[in-house]
């Protein structure tokens, strides 16, 4: 009986190895050229909207500002959780969480890593954005001026070439008369 299984042994060993590899999963293998997408989950928490969140706001105002919460605790209706997660193709993850607590339908506190910024932080960010905008506009203007300069140079060059070709093609009528007829024999 063992003689019958002797040729099948390598085949069984190969099947066992293949099965083990399949059970381990293909996610651990990084295949080159495979496109991976960015996956966004939850409520996107915009910092500008969070900055407008104030204590004393009612539920409707918070919902209008931040949207419907991802999680409303069944046992604690006075707590709303806004959670956002982005998984990027390079493996990096961005997470933001904001928990809003209510008392008598008014915001009493909020916590998490996506908190409203102070007025100084907002002003500093605005100043940085204004500086970056001005820098961008300056670069656009420089590029526009360079493009106009190159266009003018190209037009001047083409006009010069047209003048050269037009003057070289035209010969004075007198010179044409003086030129001997080379094809004729006398």
Q: What is the largest CA-CA distance in the chain?
A: 123
β-strand pairing of 79-87 with 71-72: antiparallel
CA atoms within 13 A on the CB side of 42: 20
- Burial bucket for residue 106 (CB in 10 Å: 0-12, 13-18, 19+): middle
Q: How many domains does the chain have?
A: 2
Distance from C-alpha of 18 to C-alpha of 13, rounded to nearest angstrom = 9
Could you tell me if residue 14 is inside a domain?
Answer: no
Could you tell me if residue 9 is inside a domain?
Answer: no
Q: What is the CATH number of the domain that holds 97?
A: 3.30.1450.10
Q: Which residues contact 89 (CB under 8 A, 6 or more apart)?
A: 35, 36, 37, 38
Do both 48 and 100 map to the same domain? yes
Instruction: Check: CB of residue 100 under 8 Å from CB of residue 59.
Output: no
Distance from C-alpha of 102 to C-alpha of 89, rounded to nearest angstrom = 37
Do both 82 and 142 map to the same domain? no
Do both 146 and 76 map to the same domain? no
In order along its 186 residues, the chain shows pLDDT tens digits of 556 656 667 777 777 777 766 655 555 566 677 777 888 888 887 878 888 888 999 999 999 988 888 877 888 889 998 888 888 888 888 888 889 999 999 999 988 877 556 667 667 777 888 888 899 999 999 999 999 999 999 888 888 887 877 766 555 555 555 556 666 555
Could you tell me if residue 109 is inside a domain?
Answer: yes
Query: Which residue range is the domain that position 146 belongs to?
Result: 120-164
Do both 150 and 108 map to the same domain? no
Do both 49 and 101 map to the same domain? yes
Distance from C-alpha of 171 to C-alpha of 166, rounded to nearest angstrom = 10
Could you tell me if residue 28 is inside a domain?
Answer: no
Please state whether 91 falls in left (phi above 0), alpha (psi between -120 and 50) or beta: left
E strands within the chain? 39-42, 71-72, 79-87, 93-103, 106-112
């Amino acid at each position: 009986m063992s003689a019958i299984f002797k040729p099948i042994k390598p085949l069984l060993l190969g099947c066992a190895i293949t099965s083990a590899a399949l059970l381990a999963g293909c996610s651990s293998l990084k295949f080159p050229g495979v496109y991976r997408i960015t996956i966004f989950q939850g409520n996107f928490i915009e910092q500008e909207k969070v900055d407008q969140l104030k204590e004393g706001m009612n539920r409707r105002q918070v919902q209008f500002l931040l949207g419907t919460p991802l999680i409303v605790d069944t046992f604690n209706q006075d707590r709303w959780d806004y959670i956002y997660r982005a998984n990027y193709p390079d493996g990096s993850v961005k997470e933001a969480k904001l928990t809003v607590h209510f008392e008598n339908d008014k915001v009493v506190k909020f916590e998490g890593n996506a908190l409203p910024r102070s007025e100084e932080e907002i002003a500093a960010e605005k100043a940085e954005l204004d500086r970056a905008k001005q820098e961008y506009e300056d670069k656009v203007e420089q590029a526009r001026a360079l493009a106009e300069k190159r266009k003018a140079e190209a037009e001047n060059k083409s006009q010069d070439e047209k003048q050269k070709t037009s003057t070289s093609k035209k010969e004075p009528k007198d010179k044409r008369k003086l030129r001997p007829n080379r094809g004729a024999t006398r």
